[in-house]
């Protein structure tokens, strides 16, 4: 990757971070003590610290710009609950720290061109780490009912929002498939490594994610109060939270459902994917509907696989980086990068279909799978050793990215992972026939 592209991406990531805290009050930047959010004033300092620690200090052995940086921003050793009690920098001082780190990293990239593989890898890692946090900043604003962020690239009134439903299943043949990232794919995270041969049976998967209209029928059929649709821990979770519908839904005065989008209530658009639902809710819907969640192997096959000449088996020699092929995402292929400031209808963007006719497998909503997050064969942690392995066995895999995910971050092999109780993230799901 060229030096100028690395610099452009890290500046773009920082711009998005600043857009997401712009206009918030001091009280909002600290926020309430919740297990699913961080204090934003701490978190924006943490993303700058990540650059400083892994590039300026790890590679060049520089002293920290802050004498207490590790005590303030090392997320591995600072318990989540303690982050509100730290002697945090003022917002102005935090911005100065962020600017100085960015300037030093940028100057370093210019001075060292041509860059070593390690220079490129660590700079890319830190940029994509910030991208992950900017998505977290975005859903934190949703969780806390803060105003809608203002993104410089936003086109919220796109016609693609009103494209309608996309019913039906895609038939995917069975065969052999290389699951995971290959060495030739370029940068990837440790949990994607490395591609390995798996066998998959033929299956049928929905062409689109479950929509609000489909999920509303589950709610209307008392799906939230019928324990037979829920696994035992899911039923305990639902009961404890007192949920009778998705957390950001409410019935309107006219009998029509509404959904909260940041700090505003809006109509529940029927053909947009259901979003902000937990794995427990997704599996309960599947039991009610007589369907199931795809395994992550099935998801990746439907997104990246290619049929053989007779379409009866997979071609185990071909696999695409994205559902539509190997070209980078563009607005006509995937709803990413916060452009629409929310979801669009599931029938939108047909140019982004996979080889089997599945739509929006990248972008719009993250999709829960049935799979428990775990290592691929011969897993070895990368330099940031706590990125994946502490969550093995206790979280569920999601695939595909959301409307807020940065396009440079996501691809068919990218594995996200959250606890099954998490409903605050931009997650929905698609189903498979049993």
pLDDT at 113: 76
Mean pLDDT of 242-257: 93
- pTM score, whole prediction: 0.97
pLDDT tops 80 at residue 151: yes
pLDDT band at 214 (very low <50, low <70, confident <90, very high): very high
Does the structure show a pLDDT above 90 at 227? yes
Question: Does residue 33 surpass a pLDDT of 90?
Answer: yes
Residues found in the chain: 434
User: Mean pLDDT across the stretch 151-177?
Assistant: 95
pLDDT value at residue 59? 87
- Tell me, what's the pLDDT at 255? 79
Q: How confident is the model at residue 164 (pLDDT cuts 50, 70, 90)?
A: very high
Per-residue pLDDT at 310 exceeds 90 = no
Residue extent(s) of CATH 1.20.120 domains in the chain: 3-143
Q: What is the pLDDT of residue 269?
A: 97
Mean local confidence (pLDDT), 84-108: 97
Mean pLDDT of all residues in the chain? 96
* The pLDDT of residue 414: 98
3-state class (DSSP) for residue 176 = strand
Burial class (CB in 10 A: 0-12, 13-18, 19+), 150: exposed
Q: Which CATH number fits domain 154-434: 3.50.50.60, 3.90.1580.10, 3.40.50.1110, 3.60.21.10?
A: 3.90.1580.10
The pLDDT value recorded for residue 107 is: 95
DSSP state of 325: B
pLDDT digit string, tens, across residues 182-196: 999 999 999 999 999
The DSSP string of 337-381 is: TTTTSS---TT--GGG--TTS---SSSSSEEEEEEEP-PPTT---
pLDDT given at position 1:
78
> How much is the pLDDT for 221?
97
Q: Which residues contact 143 (CB under 8 A, 6 or more apart)?
A: 34, 36, 37, 424
**In Å, how far from its chain's centre is CA 113?**
32
Q: For residue range 44-78, list pLDDT tens digits in order.
A: 999 999 999 999 998 888 899 999 999 999 999 99
Instruction: Give CATH 3.90.1580.10 domain extents, the chain.
Output: 154-434
- CATH code for the structural domain at 3-143: 1.20.120
pLDDT of residue 268: 97
């Amino acid at each position: 990757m060229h030096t100028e592209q690395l610099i452009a991406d890290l500046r773009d990531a920082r711009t998005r971070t600043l857009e997401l805290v712009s206009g918030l009050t001091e009280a909002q930047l600290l926020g309430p003590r919740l297990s699913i959010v961080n204090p934003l004033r701490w978190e924006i300092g943490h993303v700058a610290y990540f650059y400083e620690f892994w590039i300026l200090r790890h590679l060049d052995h520089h002293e920290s710009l802050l004498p207490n940086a590790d005590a303030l921003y090392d997320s591995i050793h600072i318990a989540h609950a303690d982050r509100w009690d730290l002697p945090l920098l003022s917002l102005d001082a935090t911005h100065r720290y962020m600017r100085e780190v960015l300037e030093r990293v940028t100057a370093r990239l210019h001075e060292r061109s041509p860059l070593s593989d390690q220079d490129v890898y660590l700079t890319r890692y830190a940029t994509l780490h910030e991208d992950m946090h900017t998505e977290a900043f975005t859903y934190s604003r949703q969780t806390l009912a803060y105003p809608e962020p203002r993104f410089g690239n936003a086109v919220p009134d796109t016609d693609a929002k009103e494209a309608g439903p996309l019913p039906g299943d895609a038939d995917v043949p069975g065969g052999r498939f290389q699951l995971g990232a290959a060495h030739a794919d370029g940068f990837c995270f440790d949990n994607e490594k490395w591609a390995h041969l798996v066998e998959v049976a033929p299956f049928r998967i929905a062409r689109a994610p479950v929509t609000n209209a489909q999920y509303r029928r589950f709610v209307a059929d008392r799906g939230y109060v019928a324990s037979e649709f829920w696994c035992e821990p899911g039923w305990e979770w639902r009961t404890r939270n007192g949920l009778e519908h998705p957390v950001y839904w409410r019935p309107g005065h006219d009998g029509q459902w509404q959904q909260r989008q940041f700090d505003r209530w809006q109509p529940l658009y029927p053909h947009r994917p259901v979003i902000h639902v937990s794995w427990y809710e997704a599996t309960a819907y599947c039991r009610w509907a007589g369907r199931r969640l795809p395994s992550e192997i099935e998801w990746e096959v439907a997104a990246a696989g290619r049929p053989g000449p007779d379409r009866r088996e997979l071609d185990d020699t071909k696999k695409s980086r994205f559902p539509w092929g190997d070209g980078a995402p563009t607005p006509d292929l995937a709803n990413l990068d916060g452009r629409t400031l929310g979801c669009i209808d599931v029938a939108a963007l047909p140019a982004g279909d996979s080889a089997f006719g599945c739509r929006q497998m990248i972008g719009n909503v993250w999709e829960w799978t049935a799979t428990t997050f775990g290592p691929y064969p011969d897993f070895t942690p990368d330099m940031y050793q706590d990125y994946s392995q502490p969550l093995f066995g206790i979280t569920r895999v999601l695939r595909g990215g959301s409307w807020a995910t940065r396009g440079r971050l996501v691809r068919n092999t990218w594995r996200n992972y959250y606890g099954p109780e998490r409903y605050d993230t931009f997650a929905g799901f698609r189903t498979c026939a049993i």
